[in-house]
Amino acid sequence: MDSSKLAIQGGTPVRPNLLPYGRQWVDEEDIRVVTEVLQSDWLTTGPKVAEFERAVADFVGAREAVAVSNGTAALHAAIYALGIGPGDEVIVPPMTFAASANAVIYQGGTPVFADVEADTLLLDPAQVEAKITPRTRAIVAVDYAGQPCDYDALSIIAAKHDLAILADSCHALGARYRGAAVGTLADLSAFSFHPVKHITTGEGGMITTNDPVLAQKMRLFRNHGITSDHREREQKGSWFYEMVDLGYNYRLTDLQCALGINQLRDLPAWLERRQAIARRYDAAFGEMAAIRPLGARIDVSHAYHLYVVRLELSRLSATRADCFAALRAEGIGVNVHYVPVHLHPFYREHFGTGPGLCPVAEAAYEEILSLPIFPRMSDADVEDVITAMRKVLGAFALSVA
């Protein structure tokens, strides 16, 4: 068989089965601790919630942590706690999942898109400054792919204009910025525990902060705006509660928290594995003319939720869509993160956004691919990705006259 012929053209694929871009790691101990909670009296609003909150707060070095049902709920609760409402503007980057901006709309605010840096695809502080108006109340700093934003520059801007900073750190649990842990760099920091993230609770989220007033607001918000939960009333021997504001059912169960506590213990080793895979990719792709990994700053510890590359399409006879399809046919589960939020039909229709608003993000979108990276990948898996990239890019390479 001709191993150089692309699988999409009838050749033999590099892998017989698809390697996903991300995957959870759940072991027997994870199953045991969840089963233990199933056999207990408290499946939700029980002791594991506070235990998980304390574990995450201690891990990042924050005073408070508030557990919620998913990463979107974390962003929504944070926007609520900051008091964002109708007439308020919040600056958001376009290179992110839609929830980063949607959470602003949930509270009646208006997301204002500021472009990203070309090398890192992180929020560009200069673009943030240019988008500030008298109605601006906050900045959402997305730690894209697991690399922290330039928090020193953003903090100077925020202080100058009296703005809050919400770190969307759903990609970046365990990352560090100039020695400081993500989770302590902003007024509020939101995390996600979706299965492809650094640790999982199935679905789940957390907000960390050093402000106990904001933490209490979010605890009310996750429980319908009610002043106590079932366990608190049980401990007091009371039935009475009051709803003091409009909240949501954004609670995280004890089952999920038990899983999260156990997963958190493995996180340091899993981060090391992600970083080791990224180093292997960096070394291999540095030799390929048609591919360029995103820039990584020397003063950060990158958590590598994603490993994103840009294709040098001027060197290829193919589009990004062609490369995507060819790599999937080779058994490599590449993905694209993300369609810029301002290009989604909802935003075009309701907020008048569209092409040209954030040209750096728009240009990057046409070129980016996310490659598989997760701790359970073997060295052979990593080599399969590299082999497939060489095979596909070699097949599509333009000949040099």
Q: Do residues 288 and 244 share a domain?
A: no
Q: Flag whether pLDDT at 31 surpasses 90.
A: yes
Q: Say if 157 falls within a structural domain.
A: yes
Contact 148, 129 (CB under 8 A): no
Secondary structure (DSSP) of 276-340: HHHHHHHHHHTT-TTEEEPP--TTEE---S-EEEEE-GGGBSS-HHHHHHHHHHTTB--B-----
Q: Report, as an integer, the average pLDDT of 78-93.
A: 98
The contacts of residue 397 (CB under 8 Å, 6+ apart) are: 289, 290, 315, 316, 317
Q: How far is C-alpha 228 from the geometric centre of its chain's CA atoms?
A: 31
CATH code for the domain in which residue 363 is found: 3.90.1150.10
Contact 116, 122 (CB under 8 A): yes
Q: Which residue has the tokens 């106590």?
A: 228
Which residue, of 209, 243, 263, is where some domain finishes? 263
Q: Say if 50 falls within a structural domain.
A: yes
Task: Report how far residue 19's alpha carbon sits from residue 372's, in angstroms, rounded to the nearest whole number.
Answer: 7
Domain count, the chain: 2
> pTM for the complete prediction?
0.96
Q: State the Cα angle at 115 between 314 and 369, rounded to 5°.
A: 40
Range of the domain at 110: 28-263
Of the pLDDT bands very low, low, confident and very high (cuts 50, 70, 90), residue 338 is very high
Q: Flag whether pLDDT at 322 surpasses 80.
A: yes
The contacts of residue 93 (CB under 8 Å, 6+ apart) are: 100, 113, 114, 115, 116, 122, 123, 140, 141, 142, 144, 358, 361
Q: Flag whether pLDDT at 101 surpasses 50.
A: yes
Of the pLDDT bands very low, low, confident and very high (cuts 50, 70, 90), residue 4 is confident
In the prediction, which pLDDT does 98 show?
98
CA quadruple 87, 150, 296, 276: dihedral sign: negative
Q: Do residues 343 and 240 share a domain?
A: no
pLDDT by residue (tens digit) across 264-307?
999 999 999 999 999 999 999 998 999 999 999 999 999 999 99
Q: Report, as an integer, the average pLDDT of 248-272.
A: 98
Q: Flag whether pLDDT at 230 surpasses 90.
A: no
For 193, list phi and psi in degrees, rounded to 5.
Answer: -120, 35
Within a 13 Å sphere around the CA of 246, how many CA atoms are in the beta-carbon half? 4
Q: Flag whether pLDDT at 343 surpasses 70.
A: yes
Q: Say if 105 falls within a structural domain.
A: yes
Q: Report, as an integer, the average pLDDT of 4-23.
A: 96
For 321, list phi and psi in degrees, rounded to 5.
Answer: -60, -40
Q: Do residues 74 and 205 share a domain?
A: yes
Q: State the Cα angle at 171 between 343 and 376, rounded to 5°.
A: 120
Q: Do residues 245 and 96 share a domain?
A: yes
In the prediction, which pLDDT does 2 show?
62
Of the pLDDT bands very low, low, confident and very high (cuts 50, 70, 90), residue 400 is low
Q: Report, as an integer, the average pLDDT of 238-251.
A: 91
Task: Report how far residue 377's alpha carbon sits from residue 13's, in angstroms, rounded to the nearest whole number.
Answer: 18
Q: Report, as an integer, the average pLDDT of 373-401.
A: 93
Q: Flag whether pLDDT at 1 surpasses 80.
A: no
Task: Look at residue 27 and give its three-state secondary structure.
Answer: coil
Q: Flag whether pLDDT at 336 surpasses 80.
A: yes
Rg (C-alpha) for the chain, rounded Å, is 22
Q: Say if 401 falls within a structural domain.
A: no
Of the pLDDT bands very low, low, confident and very high (cuts 50, 70, 90), residue 401 is very low
Lowest-confidence region among 42-46, 118-122, 228-232: 228-232
Residues designated catalytic: 197
Give whole-number Cα distances, 219 to 17, 49, 71, 216, 235, in Å. Answer: 44, 12, 15, 5, 18
